[in-house]
Chain A
Amino acid sequence: MNNDLSIILTASLVSASCALLGCFLILRKMAMVGDAISHAVLPGIVIAFLVSGSRDSVTMLLGAGIIGMFTTFLIEFFHKKARLQTDASIGVTFTWLFAIGVVLISLFAGKVDLDQDCVLYGEIAYVPLDVIITQGGINLGPKALYVSGIILIVNLLFIFLAYRKLFLTTFDPAFASAIGISTALWHYAIMGAVSMTTVASFESVGAILVVALLIAPAATAYLITDNFKMMLALACLFGVLSSIGGYYLAVWLDGSIAGAIATISGLLFGLVMILSPTHGLFFKKIKAVAH
């Protein structure tokens, strides 16, 4: 498979996963918790790496999933038990975990095949180099492509199977708990999914730019439609568009691909914010003038 295509495909799969979960995050007003999780999984990744000795393992996903839930729990814990205001609770928790992660990387620099730059903006440019080759010597294509594909399928299945419960707990938590759906359970389920997706996307886009993929496409879609299914679809579309646009921008400028993807996703948001036919500022203005 050609290099450009495999990078764009991987980025698109990752951003579609993130965009889907991002829709839930922003509607639940949990965008910053998503941000916190994406930083906080770092120590989980490093520890899983040290334990299992390799990057591609279920241990890594599990380790990060646990840390992600732990982060969510800790934020709630400080908020409820120590009465720390939510914003400070988020800020204190994730910076602490992220700092531990960075220190662990420095301490085990020889043993861990991760570096600080990779943490920040990933190494999607190297995706085509790490390929799966069968025993017969057939090149099956880049490994990251499979990982991000599987994660997307898992996320799609999760949303498809639990759609009604996720939908209700997002839009009407009071009603959901009245008919016996546990809001806490689905809250943690979504956070678990966010953690897993973050980890899987980590190598390609890094900890901080995952946040851009989680939030920007979903926020952009939110400015166009009031229909939730439509929002999910549009968010995926914007994620994929950002990936394609970002790749070519990065090639043109010879810079970080992940950085460029985030840049494009921000640009798309800006464009839609102004030009969206439903919630755009431009049309709102025209309507206001017409009245």
Chain B
Amino acid sequence: MNALLEFLSFSDPNIRYVAFGSVLLTASSAIVGAFTFLNKKSLVGDAIAHAVLPGICLGFIMAGTKNPVALIAGAFITGWISLVLVEFITSKTRIKEDTAIGLILSVFFGIGILMLTVIQKSGNASQSGLDHFLFGKAASLVGSDLITFSIVAVILLVIVFALFKEFSLLAFDKDYARSIGLPVKRIELVLTSLIVLAVVIGIQAVGVVLMAAILITPAAAARFWTDKISVMFLLASLFGAFSGLSGAFISYTAPSMPTGPWIVIVISTLAFISFFFAPNRGIIGRFIRQSRIRKTINDENVLKILYQLGEENRNFFIQRLPDEIIRRRFYDKRALVTILKRLARQGYIERTRNLWGLTEEGKSRAQRVVKIHRLWELYLTTYMHIAPDHVHEDAETIEHLLTPELEERLEQQLGYPKVDPHKSEIPYGNT
């Protein structure tokens, strides 16, 4: 606890550097990564992340020291080459994109490991710490490194901010972007360069292997809370920043721990919480909504059958055995009784021992369903010119979903017709 307070007070300038640096790194990666997520290119980010390793080694060999500019330049070059190769293999040979990504990713990484081990055995003393790029070490960010990486992060953010509209348009509707005369190829080029840059600086914090996570996981998590792209980007950067800060804290309290995996665990936890608990798109919310809809559909179908049975003897309130309903439409008997009991509790059905019949409320709810069903069938045959024997299925779905407003418009457009295409009467109001 003390460690946390000490960390959060930011009294130690070293802590300030590290915390500020990792937040900047993870947040900017999250923002750029959100575009790879929206473009459905998440795994391309993974490929670039692995492919920068040989570039870093190359930069080191060229410069002879861990000069950040040389390392970034090297990483940038091989990151780009890997992308071009994936594109080339996918378009020129019969290899599919996922195979090409996996191939380039692992081969480049292999080359990187080979170079890294050769450098390690070369006896150059300044190489120590090069392997931090594998799993990341936020705590090793100090002074001059931090300045370089901050500048890159700021450049990233400024460009994303300036081209935000163009990038979003490309992600959602490339054809439209082309048709209004945007230089799509050039914008894509800029975006790809940004991704490579984000990877190059992000691996400082999480390392090559897990870089893909801070690119895509914040965006994937944010996507579950909103449908607005600006909110999504804000959330993604917040999630990223939070995980970066946690990583810096862990790096500070437990220097022997690799930072990257911890950052990834934090961000993944946030993502899993979002996947399950986000109100609209989350798994649990979706499940509850689906079961509620399923209940409504079952309820309305049972009411509808009672209504249709009632139509036959022109008395809607006759009480019937469950078997009579089952004869019209197959139900498991026990499930049917559960539905009937629920409807009885809600006041739509009246029960006398094992006999069940509509109440006044039940009748009007059933009548509305039947009305919409028949109106919809008529609408499909008159306006969509669909044959009368093909419209039932569709009406069977829409009858539970149509809103009162649409119901009214449908009635007006059709002019309150009397019968549907099958010559069944369309019931209105209290007839």
Contacts and interface: CB of A to CB of B under 8 A. Distances in A.
Interface string A252-291: 0111101111110110010001000001010000000000
A126 B318 CA distance: 85
Contact of A211 (B94, B105, B272): B105
Given A83-B281, A85-B40, A32 B113 contact: no
Q: Which 3 A-B pairs have the closest CB atoms?
A: A262-B110, A266-B107, A259-B114
Interface stretch (B154-162, B205-213, B401-409): B205-213
Given A85-B40, A95-B210, A255-B114, A263 B98 contact: no
A189 interface: no
A112 interface: no
Contact of B107 (A32, A39, A265): A265
Contact of B117 (A99, A211, A255): A255
A87 B40 contact: yes
A148 B282 CA distance: 43
A75 to B, nearest CB: 12
B93 A82 contact: no
Contacts of A281: 92-93
7 contacts: A35-B102, A35-B106, A84-B220, A90-B42, A102-B260, A215-B99, A258-B110
Interface stretch (A46-54, A61-69, A216-224, A227-235): A216-224
B92 A215 contact: no
Given A96-B268, A209-B109, A32 B102 contact: yes
B44 to A, nearest CB: 8
Interface string A111-145: 00000110011000000000000000000000000
Contact of A91 (B110, B216, B261, B286): B216
A150 interface: no
B105 A35 contact: yes
Given A273-B89, A279-B93, A263 B114 contact: yes
Interface in B194-213: 209-210, 212-213
A91 B286 CA distance: 23
A109 B256 CA distance: 10
Contacts, number: 204
Given A32-B102, A103-B262, A273 B43 contact: no
Contacts of A260: 110, 114
B261 A102 contact: yes
B99 A92 contact: no
A26 interface: yes
Given A212-B107, A222-B95, A106 B217 contact: no
A88 B102 contact: no
Contact of A102 (B41, B107, B131, B135): B135
B283 interface: yes
Nearest to B131: A117
Give the interface residue-count category, chain A. 35 or more
Interface in B85-106: 89, 92-96, 98-103, 105-106
Chain A interface helix/strand/loop/mixed: helix
B105 A99 contact: no
B8 interface: no
Given A99-B268, A263-B111, A82 B106 contact: no
A95 B264 contact: yes
B275 interface: yes
A106 B113 contact: no
B43 A87 contact: yes
B106 A216 contact: yes
B43 A120 contact: no
Nearest to A86: B40
A204 B4 CA distance: 41
B21 interface: no
A116 B134 contact: yes
A282 B319 CA distance: 82
A99 B281 CA distance: 26
A265 B111 CA distance: 10
A88 B258 CA distance: 24
A116 B258 contact: yes
A90 B110 CA distance: 21
A86 to B, nearest CB: 8
B321 interface: no
A90 B216 CA distance: 10
B103 A98 contact: no
Contacts of A261: 110
A250 interface: yes
